[in-house]
Amino acid sequence: MSNITKYALEASLKKLLLKKPLDKITINDLTSDCGISRMAFYYHFKDIYDLVEWSCLEDATKALQGKKTYDTWQEGLLQIFEVVFENKPFILNAYRCLSREQIENYLFHLTYELIAGVVEEQAAQAPISEHAKKFIAEFYKYSFVGLMLDWIKHGMKENYEEIVHNICITMHGTIANSIHNFTKQGE
């Protein structure tokens, strides 16, 4: 039952964001729209920004379902862009109302999970330290997030499929090469 309430609040939030900015939406607006009490809201979320974060992570988790391997990471990245694009009013509104650090943290969390899975898979047979694996994953995390933030900042006008295609061309084989090079160094 509790997830039903969370999803109802998420739907109300996304609906209301089509009409007004995030910083103008109140908890009363949300609870009135989906027919629950304020107490029910506070049972699930500490504030509206907590709901926004949960919504973003929920959408991202669905997008990445089963897409955290070397063979599927490109599809996972494409699905992240698709989810962001499908929620364009929500994301642009959140981008304007939240601090850049909050948006970055959300995207860092999302992309790190995707990349860390690929790095782990590629490093499975290599004598490479956890420190080196983390460095490789964080390097790509910052690249992905930087490109996505630029895309969002410019109104999501550029074709995201082309962005993902260019990322894939740039990265083709580089994670495996990085792992190999760290292994050769004895890191």
- Whether 59 and 94 have beta carbons less than 8 Å apart is answered as no
- Whether 109 and 59 have beta carbons less than 8 Å apart is answered as no
Question: What confidence score (pLDDT) does residue 33 get?
Answer: 94
Q: How far is CA 186 from CA 59, 175, 178, 181, in A?
A: 39, 17, 12, 9
Question: What confidence score (pLDDT) does residue 104 get?
Answer: 80
Sign of CA dihedral 162, 78, 80, 88: positive
Question: What confidence score (pLDDT) does residue 172 get?
Answer: 63
Hey, what amino acid is at 14?
A: K
Question: What confidence score (pLDDT) does residue 6 get?
Answer: 92
- Summarize pLDDT for 96-118 with one digit per residue, the tens: 877 777 778 777 877 787 788 88
Report d(CA 119, CA 69) in Å as an integer. 9
